[in-house]
Structure 1
């Protein structure tokens, strides 16, 4: 594969509402990001992806857009964004925005015009169907629960929403809609952003029969993903989107493309693919039977995790480039998910996890707070949650026969609010995020997990993340770790994830112990140079072949010729 500039980036995802509050209204903002650019630069970040900052009533925290060309006032003004783009560029940091084009807010002028005017052309901008005998057009369930159909008052019509009731889906079958969206995409690219993370893009094509599906829950409904996601014909829309927007710019595009089978990955990220890279959620959702049904818990072990990661890596490597992540705004905290025992969630397990994913083949993404080891919270009542998906899952769990206590447990494990709690800058009140009570309750451990403390501690998670980044970006095996092929090893080992990266005769062997016990690994070669180690061992050269990996150790070894150190 021809090397592209965006393959070498280190991308940091910011949830703006929770990153840093510059004007002390309890809500993070664009100026807050600008104020923290030095922090991001010192970490080694080269690109920032910012979750939606467009005008929105915030029913789904910005993923319900009421004006694509305006910013939501709580985040700031356009001049603030222009300043951020400019100052970030001075520090070698590019800006990527979220692109939400499956749906708008029901407060978007298009939708409002259609509600007020029966003859509005904007009716055809949305998916609107007649009901059947006083009932919705079909039995599909939205991702956030309940029917995908919402009745329009005093009519027999319903509008379609894959997600929340205030997020009506756009009708991509209408060419006029598509042209409006392409114009908007090009507006933002002309402004100087580096590209987009493209939200929920596989939902833009629906099965046009709109027939019922077999019910899969006690509510008598069926997941809309069965006939409302990645349907035949989507390729026409995605080719057109790419041709009329992204292909005109030297930009990066990261697709959120759930539901795409591996055999279709070439269409999405191949040489002429729709996107630069896409996220694969299979390993992120290994603890639940469905990413959108958290009460269907799945037990898993390290071999299960390895199989999912390496299948993903193998399939992506065949055709293109991946976007590697441990956390995002829709996932729970990685140390709380992948390290099952709370007593083992510490510096070693956090840094081991960070290194394990960082050196996979693909562009690494770090979600805010991951680099200091932020954890899940534990809420005591459903009233403490903000996330609409969590609230839906709580009630669905009980409808499926679980107790109130069990339902709350499921939500605490998987809630999207886990990753949305305000960032921990210091041990001051509200974690230094704001001087007033934040929009969402703080995780109570901010006094022991925060940036200020970790910047002072050379042995902190934060400072080890800086080392992780430095090794990939500018270390002696940088090219190999960035562009080299990946080869899984020790695939049947119950506790160790291991792989090799290879390029132009260079070979780096990467070991990650997912156990609280030591484990011996037999090294194939006699001489290795240590590139990364989260234990403070003194040796820089290893010449033994039976190496004892300590609990939650991360170890990167560069294969050397035997006579190199004679």
Structure 2
């Protein structure tokens, strides 16, 4: 079935339920909290919610370690709450997509428990076990969270199970057709419930090189990145084709792949007219600030606005050549806050800069995704000790940094910049001590740079980041501009290096976007036509030029 691409005009909001709204005062956000704010989401123009995992889980990796795919974790509520969320969202014209995590389960999943309890259990073949006779692990692959990808099975010396991520996330064996069928049944069970589709986690890891061979080490630990043998490997296509045919195609579901490392040449298979997924995230510039995605303790990368611009347009070109669609993101639950990341001078991390970044990505071809708190300009935190962090990846990177010879203070600085906990601090609804998120101490401490950065204050300020996001949502849904913003071709405009500018053109209509991402004023050729959106209160021009203030973004309908 060819994708009808009904989802092209959606605006998606990612809810991280644990940090969104706590309604029962246990310090943890819940499904009732999401229901409580549906009208708020509608005010942003949101038509679809991506709900981060709410499945039953021991929460080693905050829900990406699932112990029961068909149960809601009690800390989020009940299945009845979930069903109510579906109904209430639908009343407001909002669809719901779930997180699909099928590369691994939790070690508390009944399948894995049975696999451990009995070596002859059929569930042993649902996972990847290897036996060695020399007392050593099967190979030298390093997991994404650090350390070996192999953990020894208790009471079975020389037998190991495999995990790309944490030891508590044993890898599913996609080579086993019985396992695949069990996964497809579960996926369809949720689609039958009425969800619109899925965001699909870590999907490029399903296929491993079955020689399980060691490679020359690429680090001081004698290990080699698992991605070299377990990401985007030949044969992955077979699994993804079957997955699509057995599930998503039957429901015309929307699917958004988290597909790190897909080479441009493979994009048509992933997101072309008959691709595995509706779209994949454009991560091209999300890690522009670090040298190594998996080992970010190794430090920052140097980059310029021009490089950011080139990366964005080059990724858009590849997507277009693939005949595909992209999910455009500035932030997600795995990324630091964009204002702290892309605006390097702290004094310039202002609402003006937050609005400029918003306009930069929002009108590109593809579907805009907003991560909770992005729309109010939330920032990174400052933590002073490792015990204040929760994220498993951050704690592992801290340990790796110490092993590599960093001082604890240096390692903490890196964590403050890059920890996934930055995105997971509770949502700031008001300026009270717990931000209106809860009446009790939250599961993770609040952000500590939040003066005037909250929904209540920003509601009252017509020039706020929040009201700018609302204005962008209105513009995208406006019937007069909608087709051009969805289907219009992308044309990069020649402007100074620190300005990102482009047009969207469909037929006679042209919409032009100019974004100054620097602290200096910048001149661009004066567009003729009507101003649709201005991130600041005034507009300066001379006879031939538009003079953009520092961090000013403007959108025109040009003649």
Shift of 1:118: 2.1
Equivalents in 1 of 2:256, 2:92: separation in Å? Answer: 23
> 2:449 is matched with which residue: 424, 440, 445?
445
Task: Say which SS state the counterpart of residue 429 (structure 1) adopts.
Answer: coil
Partner of 2:556: 557
Equivalents in 2 of 1:176, 1:556: separation in Å? Answer: 53
Task: Say which SS state the counterpart of residue 289 (structure 1) adopts.
Answer: coil
Partners of 1:10 and 1:363 within 8 A in 2? yes
Partners of 1:205 and 1:230 within 8 A in 2? yes
Q: Which moved more, 1:468-477 or 1:277-286?
A: 468-477
Shift of 1:251: 1.3
Equivalents in 1 of 2:436, 2:369: separation in Å? Answer: 24
Partner of 2:106: 105
| Cα distance change, pair 20–241 in 1 and its aligned pair in 2 (3 A) | same
Equivalents in 2 of 1:545, 1:211: separation in Å? Answer: 63
Partners of 1:218 and 1:399 within 8 A in 2? no
Partner of 1:430: 434
Shift of 1:47: 0.4
Q: Is 2:375 the counterpart of 1:374?
A: no
1:8-47 equivalences under 5 Å are 8-47=9-48
Partners of 1:14 and 1:50 within 8 A in 2? yes
Partner of 2:195: 193
Equivalents in 1 of 2:411, 2:389: separation in Å? Answer: 13
Q: Which moved more, 1:84-93 or 1:113-122?
A: 113-122
| Cα distance change, pair 171–520 in 1 and its aligned pair in 2 (3 A) | same
Equivalents in 2 of 1:252, 1:131: separation in Å? Answer: 43
Partners of 1:98 and 1:198 within 8 A in 2? yes
Equivalents in 2 of 1:430, 1:552: separation in Å? Answer: 30
Shift of 1:447: 4.8
Partner of 2:255: 253
Partner of 1:494: 497
Partners of 1:344 and 1:516 within 8 A in 2? yes
Q: Is 2:525 the counterpart of 1:522?
A: yes
Shift of 1:529: 1.1
Equivalents in 1 of 2:508, 2:266: separation in Å? Answer: 32
Task: Say which SS state the counterpart of residue 158 (structure 1) adopts.
Answer: strand
Partner of 1:73: 74
Task: Say which SS state the counterpart of residue 477 (structure 1) adopts.
Answer: helix
Task: Say which SS state the counterpart of residue 435 (structure 2) adopts.
Answer: helix
Task: Say which SS state the counterpart of residue 70 (structure 1) adopts.
Answer: strand
Q: Is 2:315 the counterpart of 1:316?
A: no
Task: Say which SS state the counterpart of residue 8 (structure 2) adopts.
Answer: helix
Shift of 1:105: 0.4
Task: Say which SS state the counterpart of residue 5 (structure 1) adopts.
Answer: coil
Q: Which moved more, 1:411-420 or 1:294-303?
A: 294-303
Equivalents in 2 of 1:162, 1:461: separation in Å? Answer: 38
Equivalents in 2 of 1:340, 1:464: separation in Å? Answer: 22
Partner of 2:286: 284
| Cα distance change, pair 447–497 in 1 and its aligned pair in 2 (3 A) | closer
Equivalents in 2 of 1:404, 1:508: separation in Å? Answer: 50
Equivalents in 1 of 2:399, 2:162: separation in Å? Answer: 22
In the superposition, the TM-score normalised over structure 2's length comes to 0.97
Equivalents in 2 of 1:190, 1:4: separation in Å? Answer: 20
Equivalents in 2 of 1:3, 1:67: separation in Å? Answer: 32
Q: Is 2:121 the counterpart of 1:120?
A: yes
Equivalents in 2 of 1:397, 1:80: separation in Å? Answer: 42
Q: Is 2:308 the counterpart of 1:305?
A: yes
Partners of 1:376 and 1:418 within 8 A in 2? yes
Equivalents in 2 of 1:123, 1:332: separation in Å? Answer: 38
Partner of 1:396: 400
Q: Is 2:474 the counterpart of 1:470?
A: yes
| Cα distance change, pair 536–262 in 1 and its aligned pair in 2 (3 A) | same
1:211-222 equivalences under 5 Å are 211-222=213-224
Equivalents in 2 of 1:50, 1:152: separation in Å? Answer: 34
Equivalents in 1 of 2:138, 2:206: separation in Å? Answer: 18
Per-residue CA deviation, residues 411-440 of structure 1 (Å, 9 max, x unaligned), is 111100000000001112200100110000
Partners of 1:131 and 1:137 within 8 A in 2? yes
Partners of 2:5 and 2:278 within 8 A in 1? no
Partner of 2:365: 361
Task: Say which SS state the counterpart of residue 383 (structure 1) adopts.
Answer: helix
Equivalents in 2 of 1:449, 1:279: separation in Å? Answer: 27
Equivalents in 2 of 1:457, 1:213: separation in Å? Answer: 57
Task: Say which SS state the counterpart of residue 449 (structure 2) adopts.
Answer: helix
Shift of 1:145: 0.7
Equivalents in 1 of 2:70, 2:431: separation in Å? Answer: 38
Partner of 2:464: 460
Gaps of 5+ in 2: none
Equivalents in 1 of 2:542, 2:277: separation in Å? Answer: 44
Q: Which moved more, 1:1-10 or 1:529-538?
A: 1-10
1:67-216 equivalences under 5 Å are 67-131=68-132, 133-155=134-156, 156-216=158-218
Q: Is 2:347 the counterpart of 1:348?
A: no
Per-residue CA deviation, residues 153-178 of structure 1 (Å, 9 max, x unaligned), is 23211100101110000000000000
Q: Is 2:343 the counterpart of 1:339?
A: yes
Shift of 1:494: 2.2
Partners of 2:21 and 2:427 within 8 A in 1? yes
Shift of 1:298: 0.4
Task: Say which SS state the counterpart of residue 331 (structure 2) adopts.
Answer: coil
Q: Which moved more, 1:216-225 or 1:101-110?
A: 216-225
Task: Say which SS state the counterpart of residue 270 (structure 2) adopts.
Answer: helix
Equivalents in 1 of 2:382, 2:538: separation in Å? Answer: 36
Partner of 2:413: 409
Per-residue CA deviation, residues 50-77 of structure 1 (Å, 9 max, x unaligned), is 0011111111110000111111000011
